[in-house]
Amino acid sequence: MLGKLIKHEFRATARIMLPVMGALMVLALLANLSIRGLTSGLSDVPVLRILFVLIVVFFGIAIIATIVMAIVLMVSRFYRNLLKDEGYLMFTLPVSAHELVWSKLIVSMVWFLLTGLLIFLVMGLTALNLANTNLEMIIEQFPSWQEISQFLREAGIQREVITLICQAGLGILLGAIVTCLHFYAAMSLGHMFTKDKILLSIVFFIGISFAFNLLSTAYGFVGFGLSGMAEHWDSMENSGVLSSFNSIAWHGLVISAIQGALLYLATILGLKKGLNLE
């Protein structure tokens, strides 16, 4: 049943996200053509110069709008489907609250990752255009994987660098999950009450943020011992510095995992025990 929920969720969200992402790609193409126009003789024509500048500005706005749309869609789908009138129908389906939450969470994660990848690609191509180069030239000049691997082995930091890259990828995924669950938990807890549900959801969101920031800061000073590590920073070798970063990253991932678990638990409890759809 989870697969059917995910399929339905993809269909509903694709109607919005695909046109938005398509518009971003079109604007990216127009912006890159405009950049070339600004660096050519066409920029001597005032009307064309203004048009080129406006297209580039709209491209920048479109990047921000795409990110905002992905977040707003994630929040609105959870709110309308589970916390408003549609919730009466959703909670009569032969599925658990866990499946309902995971269907929203998985689809949101996919759109977040696709949005991030698309923005990375269009901004990278725009940067290449501004540098008056192209991807083929970069690939030709970029060292091969064998050369990079040999350099890392000779420096004695291959394992640390690979670990750090894996930690970065895992951190991005966990961060996106925690962000979604942060909204889900705040809305679920806020809708346990009969009045001022949206206001209380905002209060819960701010309260959770404050509590997590406070706990993370306290854990950083007490658990990491950053001040002690800073005293010996200058005397560390490259492998020691990277190992320290690996250790800090693992602690950060553990904190994110704990936060995600707590937020998920709050979301489920809010939906199963105290949800008020009136």
Q: What is the pLDDT of residues 6-44, one digit of tens each?
A: 988 999 999 999 999 999 999 998 988 888 887 776 766
Judge if 129 and 182 occupy the same domain.
no
From the list 185, 124, 130, 159, the residue with the least C-alpha distance to 239 is 159
> What domain count does the chain have?
2
Q: Is 173 found in the same domain as 96?
A: no
How would you classify residue 23: left for phi > 0, otherwise alpha for psi between -120 and 50, otherwise beta? Answer: alpha
Q: Are residues 273 and 198 in the same domain?
A: yes
CB 103 within 8 A of CB 2: yes
Domain span including residue 163: 143-278
Q: Of 84, 115, 142, which residue constitutes the final position of a domain?
A: 142
Residues 174 and 259 in one domain: yes
Percent of the chain with pLDDT over 90: 24
The answer to whether residues 104 and 173 belong to one domain is: no
Name the residue with higher pLDDT: 135 or 201: 201
For 144, which DSSP code?
Answer: P
Average pLDDT in the chain: 80
Q: Are residues 81 and 211 in the same domain?
A: no
The residue among 84 and 240 whose pLDDT is bigger is 84
My answer on whether 22 and 10 are in the same domain is yes
pLDDT beyond 50 at 233: no
The Cα 218–Cα 224 span in angstroms is: 10
Asked which of 142, 166, 201 is the last residue of a domain, the reply is: 142
What b/e sequence results for 164-187 when a residue is b if at least 16 CB atoms lie within 10 Å of its CB, and e otherwise? beebeeeeeebbbbbbbbbbbbbb
The 10s digit of each residue's pLDDT in 143-194 is 666 666 666 666 566 667 777 788 888 888 888 899 899 999 999 888 888 8
Residue 238 is encoded by which pair of tokens? 């490259």
- Is 188 found in the same domain as 135? no
Both 125 and 150 in a single domain?
no
**Are 161 and 121 in a shared domain?**
no
Q: How many Cα atoms sit within 13 Å of 99 on the Cβ side?
A: 15
Last residue of a domain, one of 142, 163, 192: 142
pLDDT band at 232; cut points 50, 70, 90: very low
pLDDT (0 to 100) of residue 156: 61
User: Checking phi first, is residue 195 left (phi over 0); if not, alpha (psi -120 to 50) or beta?
Assistant: beta
Same domain, 130 and 28: yes
Across the range 102-127, mean pLDDT stands at: 89
| The model's pTM | 0.79
The reply to whether 136 and 44 lie within a common domain is yes
Burial 191-202 (b: 16+ CB within 10 A, else e): bbeeeebeebbe
